[in-house]
Amino acid sequence: MNQAPGRSSKRLLRFVWIVPAVALAATAVWWRARGPSEKEERKRAVAAASARQTQLSELLATLQREPDPMAFVQARAGQEDAAAITDLIQAYAAWASRGDALGARRLIIKQFIENPNIKVGMEALLKAVALDMTPRRQDPMWRDLVSTVSRQWDALSISWGRDLVQTETNPKTKDLLLESLAEVDPRKLTPEQQGLLVNDLIDMYPYASPDQKPALDRALAAMAGPDVVEILAHRGINEGSTPIASIQKINQEVEASRTKYKKVLEQIEQDEREAKETNAREAAKSSR
């Protein structure tokens, strides 16, 4: 059956219009199913972070006006629930500018360290320190923090402490961990643990600030000897130092033994030559 003229072209024209329409509809469905774009997600994440920061700032401002910091801490003393710990973390940071709150802040540190779970207490303390924006050189609590944390490291906890200082990203808490490890009592550690800690301190030595290096020097000298400190300070090993003197003495003894052995060999060789000569003369006499 013959088609009417122009029918094929009309069908083709309809098909050309139908395809884009279907494609547009499918695209609309895909966009609805896809959900928010990455750009929108970023905007939401930034807005949420900003809201949390605002909320935290408002909370810290409220805590700063706390009329009795010591009473605030004592009311939460001994409590191990997350809400009480969070209150103390935020209070520690909020009172950084209050000279009248030093006693309360020291009590907060004591509460964290005395937590039956050392990891919970240490993590709370590190969060509080990270939240406090006071530079460590100007922080009146710094020496208390370093000595307090340092006393927590022993043969059971030192491995965790060494891991913490490597993984910590906040500069202030990383400094706290580094300085606390530098002040650890070597007598609390096994010789193997001392060696591992020495390796860590050597690795971190180039990145330590000048005012931190004296503590590192003392720790390294106590656990590895003064020559390690000399090398790290780019002074090299000095003649006359104890390890070098010992090495020199050993070398001298080895050289003396070598000389003595050489003389013994020479004597043996001489005896052998004389014996050969004697044998040769005796053989010559016999042949006559």
The DSSP annotation for 37-61 comes to: -HHHHHHHHHHHHHHHHHHHHHHHH
Same domain flag for 125 and 223:
no
96 shares a domain with 185: no
Whether residues 195 and 178 fall in one domain: yes
Q: How many degrees, rounded to 5, is the angle at CA 6 between CA 4 and CA 8?
A: 90
Last residue of one domain, picked from the residues 112, 133, 154: 133
- The radius of gyration of the chain from alpha carbons, rounded to an integer in Å, stands at 39
Instruction: Give residue 234's pLDDT.
Output: 74
Q: Residue 281: what pLDDT?
A: 80
The Cα 11–Cα 4 span in angstroms is: 12
Q: Which two tokens stand for residue 1?
A: 């059956």
* pLDDT per residue of the chain (288 residues) written in tens, 0 to 9: 444 444 454 554 454 445 455 555 555 555 565 556 777 777 776 776 666 667 666 777 778 888 899 999 999 999 989 999 999 999 999 999 999 999 999 999 999 999 999 999 999 999 999 999 999 999 999 999 999 999 999 999 999 999 999 999 999 999 999 999 999 999 999 999 999 999 999 999 999 999 999 999 999 999 999 888 888 887 654 544 544 444 455 456 556 656 665 676 777 878 888 888 888 787 777 776
Question: What confidence score (pLDDT) does residue 171 get?
Answer: 96
Claim to verify: residue 181 and residue 225 sit in the same structural domain: yes
Of 94, 115, 133, which marks where a domain is finished?
133
pLDDT for 129: 97
Single out the residue in 133, 167, 194 at which a domain terminates.
133
The reply to whether 216 falls in a domain is yes
Instruction: Kindly state whether residues 94 and 156 are assigned to the same domain.
Output: no
Q: pLDDT digit string (tens) for 123-164?
A: 999 999 999 999 999 999 999 999 999 999 999 999 999 999
Domain interval for residue 99:
56-133
**What per-residue confidence (pLDDT) applies to 248?**
52
DSSP code for 206: G
265 within a domain of the structure (yes/no):
no
* Domain shared by 143 and 169, yes or no: yes
The burial of 220, by beta-carbon neighbours within 10 Å (0-12 exposed, 13-18 middle, 19 or more buried), is given as buried
First and final C-alpha spacing in the chain? 144
Count of domains for the chain: 2
Domain assignment of residue 16, yes or no: no
125 in a structural domain: yes
Let me know if residue 266 belongs to a domain: no
Q: Are residues 167 and 91 in the same domain?
A: no
Same domain (yes/no): 217, 124: no
Residues 222 and 189 reside in one and the same domain: yes
Residue 237 in any domain: the answer is yes
Domain assignment present for residue 28? The answer is no
Same domain, 90 and 117: yes
Tell whether 61 is covered by a domain: yes
DSSP string across 208-245: S-TTTHHHHHHHHHHHH-HHHHHHHTT--PPTT-HHHH
